[in-house]
A and B are shown apart, each in its own frame.
Chain A
Amino acid sequence: MLIFIVRRLGFMVITLILASLLIFAATQILPGDVATMVLGRFATEQALDNFREEMGLNRSLIVQYGDWLLNFVQGDWGESLSTRADVRDLVMERLRNSAMLASVAFVMYVPLGIVLGVVAAIRRNSWVDHVISVGSLAFIGLPEFVTGLLLIAVFALRLDWFPSSSAIAPDAAFFERDTLERLVLPALTISLVSLAYIARMTRSSTAEVLSMDYVRTAYLKGLSRSRVIGRHVLRNALLPTVTVVAIGIGWLIGGLIVTESLFSFPGIGRLLLFGIQRRDLPLIQATTMVIVVIFTMANLLADILYGYLNPRIRFR
């Protein structure tokens, strides 16, 4: 098990270094001259030179990259070009808000998705199954910005149960009535797609396990239904779900970007969009790297969990 984890950690470090190279290249090399991009096409030659000097853009790209990566690892993420604020403080504050939103969503959709999927599989081809299957299919087809707008139209504008904007103060306290109220609609928005996805995947894996010989054996040796399902079916059926939940974290991040923008929620996704609109390179690079690190660690965690639950792949 230890070897497995160390091996995966090694892979993760290599992947992260290559990803940082990709992000650096995508933001710094591709578009041509950074100084012109930031200062605009009509900046004077003198201003451009000063900017290049200040940002250290005169050095070779390899030196720039090495410098940037070293600083990033040490926690010096630079200064935002558009707001002159410290990027690290900004990112950390928004990250906390996004984590808040994501965890509310996560707690909503993971257990519910698994329960719905298992129920649909057990009652296969009954009306319950059909309702869950058709419902999940419909929600898979709806992007977050559509479900979000529908939720706003119904629960904010028509029924007036929740506020339509989630523009909380960036440093708002989590456990306050106002904050929580404003989290409900965006969390629901993020949840629906993932909920549908997890329900579908759990249904198909549970259905597959239910058709296995050892399940029939378990029934035939006289075990009760709840015991067969609890002891034999779920343990095996939920294995792929672990992977699905991990893959879903990528979706969750995408969903966060769209949802935060829709609800004006001060999270990391909105910060990234802000950075892109202002062409704020240090901000874009830092937010992207932070998201990639979190995403990669979530995947690693899922791998380890999978290896722990499924001893067969441990020593591969």
Chain B
Amino acid sequence: MSASVDAAAATPVPTRRSRGQTLRLYGRRLLRQPIATVGTVIFIIFLLMAVFGPWIAPYGFEEQSIPDRLQSPTLQHPFGTDNFGRDVFSRIIVGARGIFLLGGTGTILAVLMGTTVGLVSGYFGGLLDEILMRLLDVLLSIPSLLLALVLLGTVGPSLINLILVVAVLYIPMIARVVRSMVLDLKTKEFVEAARIRGERDSYVLFREILPNALPPLLVEASMRFSYSIFLVASLGFLGLGVQPPSPDWGLQINEARNYLEGAPWMLAFPALAISMLVVATNLMSDGLRRVLQPGREDS
């Protein structure tokens, strides 16, 4: 396959841009939206916290010090200490890792599997499509937190199980988004052209259709990630998520329940962390939508 045909296939729009130019264009569009930029920056800060957490944190997240328990915020402990004398600030920083690990890996798995289902279902259609879609309907007929609780209640809340549950929950939505993109793209001339050229189905799917389905997929994935933060934190709060003494934010909030009056910082800072990350991810997702799919929604 010659390079020129590849390039033509990758850019269905008449104006041809190199990859670098496209990225720069996206960057400029993003910067024109200050709110989305702020969201993206906050998101990246949390991501860095997740990666480098244990090295940034001033104390170990399991480091107990009973004499220092329930201290209000000071210079030594900027977010105060909890009922075991553990540094809340350090626990939040290290806790970010769990959220990204669970929600992030779960979402990525869901994207991989959901995309496969969506591509196959939309491209081949027919009975297979009908069966796959009905099966996804079944998953969607059970409210996500309920399904997560029932599954985790039986298989037990290990790290792997949590990731798998997040993935299973989000496959249907992602598959639906991809499928509807495929149905739309299937009728386009450049896909028709590739078929007439005699390309194999796998080529048409992965080289012609998938690249064009990426923008909505990315937007959907970032939305799902923000939901997964919610879900993982709720599961942690209900005791069916990450288990103690891990510094999970939901778990931390659960532990803060008994100290609402005496040590409100135990609730305030993890709550702030969850809320900031969810809102930032939402803003980023909105921004992505406008950068990658301009004209779809201009409000």
- Partner-B contacts on A (CB < 8 A): 11, 14-16, 18-19, 22-23, 26-27, 30-31, 124, 137-138, 140-146, 149-150, 152-153, 157, 204, 207-208, 250-251, 253-254, 257-258, 261, 272-273, 276-277, 279, 284, 288, 291-292, 295-296, 299
Contacts and interface: CB of A to CB of B under 8 A. Distances in A.
Nearest to B256: A149
Given A145-B233, A258-B238, 17 more contacts: A18-B138, A19-B138, A23-B142, A26-B154, A137-B279, A138-B279, A141-B277, A142-B274, A143-B234, A145-B253, A208-B297, A250-B143, A254-B234, A258-B145, A272-B146, A276-B153, A295-B143
Interface stretch (B48-56, B116-124, B184-192, B259-267): B259-267
B39 to A, nearest CB: 10
Nearest to A272: B149
Given A30-B154, A137-B282, A292 B142 contact: yes
B238 A261 contact: yes
A295 B253 contact: no
B150 A258 contact: no
Contacts of A30: 151, 154-155
Interface string B230-269: 1001100111100000000010011011001100100100
6 contacts: A31-B155, A143-B274, A146-B271, A149-B260, A149-B267, A204-B297
A254 B278 CA distance: 17
A142 B275 contact: yes
A165 B149 CA distance: 23
A31 B158 CA distance: 13
A285 to B, nearest CB: 9
Nearest to B154: A31
Contacts of A295: 141-143
B151 A141 contact: no
Q: Is the interface of B mostly helix, strand, loop or mixed?
A: helix
Given A204-B297, A258-B238, A288 B260 contact: no
Given A145-B253, A207-B299, A273 B149 contact: yes
A253 B282 CA distance: 22
Interface string B273-292: 01111110011000000000
B64 interface: no
Contacts of A157: 260-261
B267 A257 contact: no
Contacts of B32: none
B135 interface: yes
A286 B150 CA distance: 12
Contacts of B277: 141
Nearest to A21: B138
B153 A284 contact: yes
A206 B250 CA distance: 35
Contacts of B260: 149, 152-153, 157
Contacts of B137: 11, 15
B141 A19 contact: yes
Interface in B113-162: 134-135, 137-139, 141-146, 149-151, 153-155
B149, B250, B276, B282: which has the most chain A beta carbons within 10 Å? Answer: B149
B153 A141 contact: no
Nearest to A249: B143
B79 to A, nearest CB: 16
B142 A288 contact: yes
A250 B260 CA distance: 30
A153 B138 CA distance: 39
A56 B158 CA distance: 30
Nearest to B146: A291
A149 B154 contact: no
A145 B254 CA distance: 8
B267 A153 contact: yes
A284 B264 CA distance: 35
A204 B141 CA distance: 26
3 pairs of A and B residues whose beta carbons are closest in the complex = A254-B145, A276-B153, A141-B278
Nearest to B277: A141
A26 B151 contact: yes
A273 B143 contact: no
A208 B296 CA distance: 11
Nearest to B151: A26
B138 A273 contact: no
A142 B271 contact: yes
B137, B254, B282: which has the most chain A beta carbons within 10 Å? Answer: B137
B271 A23 contact: no
A253 B143 contact: yes
A27 B144 CA distance: 16
Nearest to B231: A254
A254 B253 contact: no
A149 B257 contact: yes
B275 A276 contact: no
Given A15-B141, A149-B253, A276-B149, A144 B135 contact: no
A197 to B, nearest CB: 11
B210 to A, nearest CB: 28
